């Protein structure tokens, strides 16, 4: 193939074909490094969680460890606060407010409702898309 050439123009010619997939490992590696691992989320959850008075009364240290592992496994979001739920007849149920660090949009926050069933904590409901303006309610117990 003969190209028209002009002396004032530089022409780029590919020496070998470039494959789009060559950058894929780099993109995947970056994505994995950018996301905290489950173990890192668990450690953060245990050390930085805010417990409301009701949650502090209901959760033993081993319960907190179990809940922190459960949430770290279930979502990439971190635990921000654990609080009681409004109804007195739901004494074993707690609300866990979760969020991404430096989150600002509703998709960055959520709530998990947890219940201890047969000695094991389980997520019974999960709500994603919590408005940032409502996150603060997770840091207080409901009125009795």
Fill in the DSSP letter of residue 58.
Answer: H
Query: CA 105, CA 92: separation in Å to the nearest integer?
Result: 30
Burial of 30 (0-12, 13-18, 19+ CB in 10 A): exposed
Q: How far is CA 8 from CA 1, 14, 45, 142, in A?
A: 21, 20, 62, 75
Q: Is the pTM of this model over 0.95?
A: no
Please list the ranges in the chain whose pLDDT falls under 70: 1-35, 87-91, 144
For the stretch 35-66, pLDDT in tens is 579 999 999 999 999 999 989 998 999 999 99
The reported pLDDT for the residue numbered 30 is: 41
Q: What is the DSSP letter of 19?
A: P
pLDDT at 101: 85
Between CA 81 and CA 63 the distance in angstroms is: 15
DSSP annotation of 138: G
Whole-number pLDDT of residue 114: 95
Can you list the positions of beta strands (E) in the chain?
Answer: 50-51, 78-84, 93-99, 109-117, 120-128
Question: Residue 132 half-sphere exposure, CB side, CA atoms within 13 Å?
Answer: 9
Instruction: Decide if 71 contacts 98 (C-beta within 8 A).
Output: yes
């Amino acid at each position: 193939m003969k190209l028209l050439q002009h002396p004032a123009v530089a022409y780029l010619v590919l020496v070998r074909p470039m494959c789009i997939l060559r950058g894929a490992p780099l993109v995947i590696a970056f994505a994995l490094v950018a996301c905290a691992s489950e173990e890192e989320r668990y450690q953060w959850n245990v050390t930085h969680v805010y417990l409301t008075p009701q949650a502090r009364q209901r959760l033993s240290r081993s319960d907190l460890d179990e809940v922190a592992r459960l949430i770290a496994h279930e979502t990439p979001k971190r635990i921000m606060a654990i609080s009681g739920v409004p109804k007195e007849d739901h004494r074993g149920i707690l609300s866990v407010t979760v969020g991404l660090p430096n989150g600002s949009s509703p998709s960055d926050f959520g709530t998990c409702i947890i219940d201890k069933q047969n000695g094991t904590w389980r997520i019974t409901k999960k709500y994603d898309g919590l408005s940032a303006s409502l996150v603060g309610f997770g840091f207080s117990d409901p009125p009795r």
